[in-house]
Amino acid sequence: MLLSRQNSLTPPETYASGECDPAGHCRNEVKTTMKKATTVQYNTAALERQSPEIEDSRIRAIQKIVDIVIGKITGLSLSDPPELWIYAFSRIEPSAWDRSQEPNLWLKAAYLLENYPRFFQGAKTHEQLVAAIRKTTLKGITNSLSLTAQSDDELANWLSKLLALHKRSPISRSEIEGAFAGARRNRTESILLRYWIEYPRTANWVINSLCFYSDRAMAKLVYFSAHDWQKWLPTELLTKEPERIYKLYPKKLGLLAADPRVIKDVDYVSGKLEWIPFEKRLAKEDQQKRKAE
């Protein structure tokens, strides 16, 4: 979402055919003009059990970036109470609430609705949510803050920020676009966030979700994607780039990876992309499961 939308994590003209056995083990054959046919085997049930938590980690990472971006415009910090954030969102002009232009705003607004429904008058649709946000009043927020503050000093600090938001001009669409443009400049982070786990799912769900890749495979494919499928990861970066990726996704962004991973490595030979799965690991897990039964 922090980059303009692409069709998938894989190069153009990709399709897949899949089949699953009764035990829930699936095989996907992925083909493209840029790839060899590759069969990736995985346990669908095991991955699906983890997927909600993985999806939540991605949403939290995006929300954190939205908070930082909007915080730079409004002067708010991540530790400020939700009342201030709601009032800040009420100061965003209507044209900036175009879902096709900046979907991250909707994600943050939906988070506020889910966690602080008392502020939104029973809103259920996106349109009702924005209408409720725009009806937020200075008096209502002030009253709520006075009930939440633990001390007069804390309340005074919050009220000073609230008054600054009230006095400033409405937050324009150009301000929003400019702030998010800065966030998009880190292309590696943007690719990780967008492609961490595919939603809604397609036949290429595992192939299109970086959370199922080893750090090495992830680094190769992210590098390839960041260079518009024109430049493969140089050999001299095969150690440093996976280490850099690891510092980003779990440590800085807080993204949760699948356990076990499915894709061990990715190779690019003679103009063709090939996935190398953790087939031995899956086979070992199957043997352990059969012994337990």
Geometric angle at alpha carbon 207, from 214 and 5, rounded to 5°: 110
Dihedral sign (CA 83, 84, 86, 90) = positive
Identify the H or E element spanning 127: helix 126-134
> Residue 288's pLDDT is what?
53
- Residues in the chain where the model's pLDDT stays below 50: 1-7, 13-37, 281-287, 289-290
Geometric angle at alpha carbon 48, from 280 and 260, rounded to 5°: 30
> Residue 42's pLDDT is what?
66
Neighbours of 165 (CB within 10 A): 20
91-120 pLDDT, tens digit each: 988 877 766 555 667 777 777 777 888 888
259-283 pLDDT, tens digit each: 989 999 999 888 788 888 886 544 3
> Residue 11's pLDDT is what?
62
> Residue 184's pLDDT is what?
65
pTM, rounded to two decimals: 0.67
> Residue 158's pLDDT is what?
97
> Residue 205's pLDDT is what?
86
> Residue 18's pLDDT is what?
46
> Residue 72's pLDDT is what?
86
| Three-class SS of 26-60 | EEEEEECCCECCEEEEEEHHHHHHHHHHHHHHHHH
Measure the CA–CA gap between 288 and 39, rounded to whole angstroms: 23
Measure the CA–CA gap between 176 and 256, rounded to whole angstroms: 28
Place of tokens 């633990």: 150
